[in-house]
Structure 1
Amino acid sequence: MRNILDGVGGPVRPRHIVIVDDDRDLRELLRELLEGHGHIVVDVETGAQALSFLRSHGACLILLDWHLAPMSAPELKAVLDDDPALCRIPVVIVSADLRLDRNELAHYAGHLTKPIDLVALFEIIERHCGAEGDA
């Protein structure tokens, strides 16, 4: 039987991806899935943890929960945008909220709705990390 992900998301080399979500189960599930496809993944619960990691290591992509606390997704994005070392890292919003404002989402590199479409996820990773992604 052919896997729907065959040919999608097969990295040329590992990509460093940061998952920022307060839902531990979702973080672990995504981490295991992406690591199983050869990516290097760090999952954190808060925006402060994400900033601490990113300032030390960088990343090729951030998957960010919209409803994050205590630092919201827009607040974290503003800090990233103000930092010359971090402002070029693509940030993709991940949310179950179907009522998100399109104008706000325009400031991000993409948007995935929970439950996450895995083909769309791997297409985003390929688009933003490419063969030259951080390893």
Structure 2
Amino acid sequence: MVRPDHRTIVIADDDPALRLLCRVNLELEGYRVVEAESAAELDGTLAAEEVALILLDVHFGADDGVEVARRLRATYPDLPVAFFSGTQPELSEDARDVADGFIPKPFTLENLSETVQRLARG
């Protein structure tokens, strides 16, 4: 297996079970994973960490994931963002404008791994 050199992936989702599933599997692949359950927590992580990729829920708790991604894109234009969504089979046009990838829920671990490998090349 090719090691990703401990690149950091942020799982930004309000569902703790989904964050745990992603964290465990991505750590097994050699990634360093940080969890964020709110936009404020995500902002704090980005201020303190060098991040290779954000996996962001379209419906991020009280926050609109598309708006969060739009704000992040303005501050970190080269940081890839992939959306999770369990309510939309496809991304809206607004979401596609700010997304580098999409992982529909439920997803396979293979889909998660392929998306992360493609976007977190660093």
TM over 0.5, shorter chain = yes
Q: How does 1:97-108 map to 2 (within 5 A)?
A: 97-98=87-88, 100-107=90-97, 108=99
Question: RMSD between aligned alpha carbons?
Answer: 1.7
Alignment of 1:1-135 (within 5 A): 10-83=2-75, 86-98=76-88, 100-107=90-97, 108-130=99-121, 133=122
Query: Could you give the per-residue CA deviations for residues 73-116 of structure 1, whole angstroms, max 9, x where no partner exists?
Result: 01211221221xx2211110011112554412322001111111
Number of aligned residues: 121
Considering only CA atoms, is the larger Rg found in Structure 1 or Structure 2? 1
Runs of 4+ in 1 over 3 A off after TM superposition: 99-102
**Which segments of 5 or more consecutive residues in structure 1 lack a partner in the other structure?**
1-6
Q: Tell me, what secondary structure is at the counterpart of 1:11?
A: coil
Q: Give the % identical residues.
A: 31
Q: Given residue 28 of structure 2, which amino acid in structure 1 is its aligned partner? A: G
- TM-score computed with the length of structure 1 as normaliser: 0.80
CA displacement at 1:11 relative to structure 2 = 2.7
Return the structure number with greater helix share.
2
Q: TM-score with structure 2 length normalisation?
A: 0.88
Distance 1:111 1:101, change over 3 A: closer
Larger mean Cα displacement after TM superposition, 15-24 or 114-123: 114-123
Could you tell me how far apart the structure 2 residues matched to 1:99 and 1:122 are?
A: 19
- Unaligned 5+ runs, structure 2: none
Q: Which has the higher contact order (CA 8 A, sep 6+)?
A: 1
Bigger drift between 109-118 and 98-107 goes to 98-107
